Structure 1
Amino acid sequence: MNISQVFKTIGTLSHQTGTQVYVVGGFVRDQLLERDIKKDLDFVVLGSGLAFAKTFAAQFSEENGRLIEFSDFDTARYVFLETTQSIAENGEQEKQYRTLLEVEFAGARKEAYRSDSRKPTVVPATLEEDLSRRDFTVNAMAQQILPDGTLGDIVDPYNGTQDIKDRMLRTPLEPGETFSEDPLRMMRAARFSAQLIFEIEKKTYLAMKKYAPRLSIVSAERIQEELMKLFATAKPSIGLWALYKSELFDQFMPEVSNLAGVEEIQGYSHKDNLSHTFAVVDNIAEQSEKPLLRFAGLLHDIAKPDTKQFVKGRGWTFDMHEHVGKKMVHEIGKRLKMSTRDIR
């Protein structure tokens, strides 16, 4: 199953059911940027996303894939799978599955978070209202799937096309409103700045700094996932600097911010450990695509601020920072709800 076949299936079902369906977000953005299309597609349904997803899933056998339902959000994800047979250690045959493509259907909706809650309330909305709740204008564009599976004109109520030309990250609504609804979007700004090599608009950046404490309502698991997506970019330091300057690091890993600064005593100074650390992460990124290894690079000198001393005759020392750092890495891993295996 390829993207063209998915579009044709959706176009046919859209025509048969009288339901308008739009591909949204990253697919539209990446086409304009002439980037490789990812293996996941997001669709907005003007109607019930869950009902349309069930109709879509009914076109395929169990061997083709699986439907995962999120009924509270009128959303469902269909995962196309490739099935292979292998021989287990006991000599018996077992099935193995590889994800080929994921498509997600959501009813056009608005979400809102209460100030004391991590769970949003969901209400139906128009297409434009749905696009307004996207994180950035470059992700707030849509194209209708026509009956023959081709794409209609780009629907772009928030000038995402121009922002792509300007290589600018900007929120569809006032940034404070966008970030209050889902504070994780502030971390996404850092990640997209590295992934797309885009600049964060000044007003958006200032809002990130203002609303940084709001990140406290976001679960550690979501923060960890977004951080690893940042480490998967070609040059993570772009996003890491954004997290530092916006004071977002202070909300979940203040140890990183503590690396910043240079002291001088009696003509002796030490290097800025923050700049050094971010450079190390980029160097690792050039050698390995593993996000976890890049994350390890971020933490390699994490204990230097706690072990820093000026010793006459020696200058600045960081004795035992490797041993102290092991304990700190364990504490940070637990805070981010990382697995025991990853922490080790």
Structure 2
Amino acid sequence: DPNKDIKYCAVYPKFGFGVKLPYHLQDYCVLDMLSEGVFGQVLHCLKPTSAETVAVKVLKKEGQYSLKRELAMLHRVQQLDPEKCHVVKFIDTFVWNDNTCMVFEMLDCSLIDFCKRRKKRPNLSEIRVIAQQLLMAFEALGELGIVHTDLKPDNVMLVNCKNQPLKVKLIDFGVAHLKSEMKLGSSHQNIYYQAPEVSLGLPLTEALDMWSLGVVLVVLYLYQRPFSGSSPYNKLRTISCVVGGYYKDTLMAMGFLNLLRKLLHVDFSKRITPSEALQHEFITLEYFEENQDEYVKQARDLMGGGTPTGTIKGKASSSNQPYNRSIKIQNVSKNPNLMTLMCQVCTISIPETEN
């Protein structure tokens, strides 16, 4: 009952723009403020005629300078199927009180908020499902010539934690660029997710999104930023010990590390592409045993099975050899092979481990 919702929202205090709720933005009734940033706010709104709830992004006047590019990107993204390509659905745009408003489908919560709700980080099976969807999103964007440039956990939203567990969508195309228009200084990546070519002043390509994806996957598993330690050696030990150590499914852990190495290749020209990553064994599970966890099984069913469908046709895997099933990791710090692999992941040099 939309009238019930409108009545309920009247108890909220004064809203950020100095109005009392409920307040009507054109055809929408403001229920709450979801978030606030430098250039605007995101509102939880209701359309009374249909009882549909949406997210309305209201840009402040000082944030209007980037509006044309963002709208152009959103109209391009509208060409994609938001469900199959895992991108947020853009619904409408209008002007309110000289502020441009953009209407999107209502999503549930960010990846980080999801982890906080559960009070635990995702396991590798869950990370695999999330990675697959983001790779499908980047592959679809690549076909449109779009580079997102701002991938971070806040810009990956779960659709519905209860009814569609682990289904995610990519949001926020405010600093996205056309691949053909990428130039030095055009990237606004968060420093923790910033590809090395950005700070080195090298040519910018869609490969910078793959670096950011690699960092996001590590953040999900470690529940901390991997490249914020006091020294390269300490950063490496953190990743090595937590990602590889004591994980019961060693085969999947090695597959995860191998994919990270390809995502975090310091040479952007050699970094794995979305299409190639979708054929990686960690994603396809070609060499891995199926995880029997019911939660993950349900998520896989919602995703249409364990492997991508309708995205890649007949593309061979870049790796022809299965991982060594005999590997048993007891203590990563005493496993020089894994330490060497993590050196390749981070593309840095570390002292040799003591026997």
Which structure is higher in strand share? 1
TM-score higher than 0.5: no
TM category (shorter chain) comes to under 0.3
For normalisation by structure 2, the TM-score amounts to: 0.27
For normalisation by structure 1, the TM-score amounts to: 0.28
